[in-house]
Amino acid sequence: MALNKSMHPRNRYKDKPPDFAYLASKYPDFQQHVHTSLTGRPVVNFKEPEAVRALTCTLLKEDFGLTIQIPLERLIPTVPLRLNYIHWVEDLIDGQKQPRRGIDIGTGASCIYPLLGATMNGWFFLATEVDDICFDYAKKNVEQNNLSDLVKVVKVPQKTLLMDALKEETEIVYDFCMCNPPFFANQLEAKGVNSRNSRRPPPSSVNTGGVTEIMAEGGELEFVKRIIHDSLKLKKRLRWYSCMLGKKCSLAPLKEELRKQGVPKVTHTEFYQGRTMRWALAWSFYDDVTVPSPPSKKRKLEKAQKPLSFSIPEAGLKELQAKASAAGCTGCSSVDSVTALLEKTLAELRVLHKRVPCRKQEQSLFLTAVENTWIHGRQKRREHKRQLRELPRAPQCAGSSSQPSLATAGTPTPSQSQPTLTADSNSQDDNTENQNMSAHESGKEEKKNASGELGQISENVAGGDVDMESSSCAETGQETELKETPTEAPCRQPQSPGGVELFLFKCLLNVMMEESDVVIEMHWVEGQNKDLMNQLRTYLRNTLLKSVAKP
């Protein structure tokens, strides 16, 4: 995965990593740490603290006009990762440019968060530090950048986090606090133990983990728990409390702690920089704060919004055009021909469809499916048999067992067709699952979707074709088994797609050229279950491709 792509969208390094060659030519101090790789690229050795420091100081100078000094024996921050956190705080407090007031717990020698926040956004900062050396450097770094009006560095005792820093100010409400807690990772890494590796499970007992590892474990968790406990006393004195985490496994127990304490607003995020990944947690006692979605939810949403698609390669288009012209679509473009053939198949399937306005050289159809006429007859019979077995008391409305419940129907809606139990009545293969659920099972289906099945579908689509197994239609996994002719009579036959009250799903189908291929995209609009749209996609694709194979 290109991790830079996962940086915060506003991170200036997201699509534009630092240009080492340019920086080396401009900054002699940096130049001495830039080497040429075997492939001739300028590289920096991130295992050398001197090189990391030189890069950090150079980037802060070049991109933010900041001049800082940092001792090698203290944590050397990396700028792109720190920026990710700043941008996330902007998201939390919903304001990049307004004057805001924040606290940086453990600001470090660099004082990087306050320097960046003050320079980029004009934020005021109270920066705390326990370590004498860090405190001295931090103060100097603020002064030499003329930021003393915005950033106040205070020395605090080790045992305290927020309480002491705030005890003199009883009135001011801070917009946020941020913290990069001490993970003790550097000591561990020096011993070859990567305690920040998220794939490494936490030690299950004192005996199985090394002493230092347990210390690191306790270090991060305990530190943040202490911030949580301070926050429970300070509550609305800060609008957002936040903390960076070095280990993914810290996230769950801390969230659990917040849940136990009844903290009303909690969210988290992930930060990427190169191969480094970090997590951050934020919580608030305010009801009116904007809570940014965690990345997993965002990803699911993005996936759910992705269309299902398939393409007809250039090689097959001539034959499709010939087929379309035989059906009356003469002088048509490839897009028009494919659209005409799709319309023919949709008509056969009794899927309601009408053309809607779209971009030039594209065609767009609005589809409303009121019944499932595209799945394999054998599957239907098998499913019907299964339901007869499992739901002996289910009302035996004609065809009800082979129809998924309709989207707007609050109660089971029988259709009027009755599949017959013939050819496959002895089949042992009964794994069609929820494909042809009866209305009785629709509740189960909703749960299934809620637990992320939509994401699964889109993931498959992203990787190429969707197989029928993934869409709970696991009879054989062979899409070619889908029949070309509709198998059932409609339960209702409404006249126009727009005016349908009961439907399985609605979608928008776009036909367009992509290079020399024709691409068909299906965008979900609404309905009961995206699996159904996936099945229809497979049916339409197979029908078109079959006609290419057998003109």
Question: With CB under 6 A as the contact rule, which of the stretches 40-48, 125-133, 210-218, 309-317 interacts with ligand SAH?
Answer: 125-133
Q: Return the residue of 75, 188, 532, 533 that touches ligand SAH, per CB under 6 A.
A: 75
Q: Which is nearer to ligand SAH, 136 or 424 (CB)?
A: 136
Question: Which long-range contacts does 298-303 make (Cβ < 8 Å, 24+ apart)?
Answer: 299/455, 300/452, 300/454, 300/455, 303/454, 303/455, 303/458, 303/459, 303/462
Q: What's 159's DSSP letter?
A: T
Tell me the two tokens of residue 502: 């009961």
Q: Which is nearer to ligand SAH, 107 or 400 (CB)?
A: 107
Which residues between 180 and 199 bind ligand SAH (CB under 6 A)? 180, 182
Within 238-396, strands assigned E span: 238-245, 265-273, 276-284, 308-312, 352-355, 363-369
349 near ligand SAH (CB under 6 A)? no
Query: Which residue of the chain is nearest ligand SAH when measured via CB?
Result: 106
289 near ligand SAH (CB under 6 A)? no
Instruction: Judge whether 163 and 126 are in contact, CB under 8 Å.
Output: no
Q: Return the residue of 131, 348, 362, 517 that touches ligand SAH, per CB under 6 A.
A: 131
Residues 420-443, buried b or exposed e (16+ Cβ, 10 A)? eeeebeeeeeeebbbbbbbbbbbe
Q: Which is nearer to ligand SAH, 11 or 401 (CB)?
A: 11
Q: Return the residue of 43, 120, 154, 156 that touches ligand SAH, per CB under 6 A.
A: 156
Cα–Cα distance for residue pair 551/547, rounded to 1 Å: 5
Cα–Cα distance for residue pair 472/444, rounded to 1 Å: 13
Tell me the two tokens of residue 261: 């304490």
Please, what is the minimum distance in Å from the beta carbon of residue 160 to ligand SAH?
Answer: 6
**By three-state DSSP, how is residue 315 classified?**
helix
Which residues between 86 and 115 bind ligand SAH (CB under 6 A)? 105-108, 110, 112-113
158 near ligand SAH (CB under 6 A)? yes
Please, what is the minimum distance in Å from the beta carbon of residue 131 to ligand SAH?
Answer: 4
Instruction: Judge whether 300 and 454 are in contact, CB under 8 Å.
Output: yes
Number of residues engaging ligand SAH in binding (CB under 6 A): 20
**By three-state DSSP, how is residue 331 classified?**
coil
Q: Return the residue of 43, 120, 130, 545 that touches ligand SAH, per CB under 6 A.
A: 130
Q: Return the residue of 68, 103, 126, 161 that touches ligand SAH, per CB under 6 A.
A: 161
The sheet carrying 308-312 orders its strands as 308-312, 517-527, 505-514, 363-369, 352-355
Please, what is the minimum distance in Å from the beta carbon of residue 172 to ligand SAH?
Answer: 19
Cα–Cα distance for residue pair 112/239, rounded to 1 Å: 22
129 near ligand SAH (CB under 6 A)? yes
426 near ligand SAH (CB under 6 A)? no
Q: Which is nearer to ligand SAH, 75 or 89 (CB)?
A: 75
Residues at the contact surface with ligand SAH, assessed by CB under 6 A:
75, 77, 105-108, 110, 112-113, 128-131, 134, 156, 158, 160-161, 180, 182
